[in-house]
Structure 1
Amino acid sequence: MESTSTPERILRGIALTLVILFFMFPIFWIFMMSFQTNETILQIPPSLSFTPTLSNYMALITGKLTTAAGTLDIAFMGNLGNSVFLSTASVAVSLLLGVPAAYAFARHKFRGSEDIAFTLLSFRFAPPLLVLLPLTQYFQWLGLSDTYIGLIWVYQLICLPLILWIVRGYFEDISADVEYAYRIAGHSWFATFRKIALPLAGPGIAAAGLLAFIFAWNNFVFALVLASASKQPVTVGALAFVTSSGIQYGQIAAAIVLSIAPTLALALYAQRYLVEGLSLGAVKG
């Protein structure tokens, strides 16, 4: 039995290593590109032997991009700050609105509740191009074009349905008997929601908030059309590296590294909440 299990473990380890290398190699290659010049990146055949340089990161931090046509001003760090602000604010608003709504849908069934929930979810599935034209017209009429408030409002189309449906499932996995016992003791509905339901669904809420943050961070189309360069996130700001004199691959690679760093750090920090959230249904009842 031992002789058959050992080769199986070896093969499983080899397969797992190959899968990890397959998915991590593009990230490793982009990381290496961020320390190379355009001449080194475009040489054929490519080589892992090169003299590293920090010029790509310095160009992003200082906002001065040197090309064959001269020096260009870029606002990458400003775009990075916009991404942090827009994603954080939109997720905070979505959690404030979505978590109580998810609890209501999970605990209080009423006529048309499923239709309302599905309608909210359909906003997440709708193609962005389908709503861009009416949104542009409404924003111009309401004076929300090229404003942070307008972008945060639009980002609710991404975050709110996701949080609503994910957190609703976590609330449904929690036994309602615990809440009923707390209510019988004389506590109000809001106290039950705040002291019982929220702590029990905390890991699920954290996981939903993390996923919503990643989706908001990666948004491109809405910010491209509805905001100017001063308020656009990093996903749109990366277009500045495609210049008339060529594509600045080194700066693009450095921008990718800097732009994925916040979401990667957040995912590593919230990893334990993700694990707890996935195992929440195991203790149901």
Structure 2
Amino acid sequence: MDHASPMTRWLKGLALTLVVIFFMFPILWIVLMSFQTNETILRMPPSVVFTPTLENYQALITGKLVSSAGVLEIQFMRNLMNSVILSVCSVALSLLLGVPAAYAFARHKFRGSEDIAFTLLSFRFAPPLLVLLPLALYFQDLGLANTYIGLIWVYQLICLPLILWIVRGYFEDISPDVEHAYRLAGHSWFSTFRRIALPLAGPGIAAAGLLAFIFAWNNFVFALVLASADKQPVTVGALAFVTASGIQYGQIAAGIVLSIAPTLALALYAQRYLVEGLSLGAVKG
């Protein structure tokens, strides 16, 4: 039973409202900017009252950016599709490799297992600039420079450690007695893994996959160096809006809105799995 006074509840509601406004205001301002021209955005003092326009989104979709220097060809929609291809493929490959590896680390303790797991985790925290030059040289020798395969391979090195450690902690939270009972009934290890462990670890796998997708989507440095314009994701493609004639703030804002839409939709769709997976699976290991 809630014994809080009306004043206490009102103050809590006010505090919550202020916190939401504080964190959501930048996003709201970006959305408003995406419907304004550069002249409206740069006017002083700024105002939320303006005549909305769809020119920014039209420029992104058609690939023709109109500026004072003329018409500039941009490839934003191709960059957006590149982000989808790279993120989806790298996360799928990381899940394919990382989930069985996480199960093995959780269920089969062997000498050096913790060292191997920590080494894999260290790949995630290594500074990108530390490995960027060697990767660029190796990619040139192997013919992987400016290819989807090469970028997906690099992206999955970012996603795999995250998936491995989150899903491993979730597998460790599952009682092994259920799996032992299923094995005693004559089922194989793979059947136990597929029919028992995977369904029980579903929320953790979904949470790990979503976080890995966000990290892959936001990657910038590797794609900037290892790929040319036709293979670069949206994070690198946004540099096209910084031209010699000025910075196209309206197009940048519209590009931000379009680029965060896929990850925002995924986060809203899988938020239940994300909260459950992080609260249960990521606290161990």
Q: Calculate the TM-score normalised by the size of structure 2.
A: 0.96
CA–CA distance in structure 2, aligned partners of residues 15 and 65 of structure 1: 43
Structure 2 counterparts to residues 5-84 of structure 1, below 5 A: 5-84=5-84
Residue aligning to 2:209: 209
Give the superposition deviation at 1:130.
Answer: 0.4
Aligned counterparts of 1:277 and 1:160: Cα–Cα separation in 2: 17
SS at match of 1:163: helix
Distance 2:131 2:14 in 1: 47
Cα distance in 2 for residues equivalent to 1:109 and 1:91: 26
- Which amino acid in structure 1 is aligned with residue 153 of structure 2? W
CA deviations on 1:41-73 (whole Å, 9 max, x unpaired) are 000000111100000000000000001010000
Per-residue Cα deviation, 1:173-202 (whole angstroms, up to 9, x for no partner): 000000000001110000000000000000
Which digits, 9 at most, give the CA deviation of each residue in 1:95-136, with x for residues without a partner? 000000000000000000000000000000000000001000
Equivalents in 1 of 2:246, 2:108: separation in Å?
A: 58
The 1-side partners of 2:189 and 2:177 are apart by 14
The corresponding residue for 1:182 is 182
Q: Which residue of 2 aligns with 1:134?
A: 134
Residue of structure 2 equivalent to 1:157: 157
Aligned amino acid, residue 135 of structure 2: L
Other-structure match for 2:95: 95
CA distance in 2, matches of 1:149, 1:10: 55
**AA at the equivalent of 1:112:** G
Helix, strand or coil at the partner of 2:50 = coil
CA RMSD of aligned residues (A): 1.5
Partner of 1:112: 112
| TM-score for both structures, normalised by structure 1 | 0.96
Query: Distance in 1 between the 2:188 and 2:3 partners?
Result: 62
- Report the AA paired with residue 13 of structure 2: G
AA matched with 2:67: T
- 2:146 alignment partner, SS class: coil
3-state SS of 1:80 partner: helix
User: Which residue identity is paired with 1:268?
Assistant: L
Partner-residue secondary structure (3-state), 1:199: helix
Identity of aligned residues (%): 84
| Cα distance, 1:7 vs structure 2 | 2.4
**Shift, 1:278, TM fit:** 4.3
**Whole-angstrom CA distance in 2 between matches of 1:189 and 1:49:** 64
- Which ranges of structure 2 fall in alignment gaps of 5 or more residues? none
User: Per the alignment, do residues 279 and 120 of structure 1 end up closer, same or farther by CA in structure 2, a change over 3 Å counting?
Assistant: closer
How many residue pairs get matched? Answer: 282
CA distance in 1, matches of 2:53, 2:78: 23
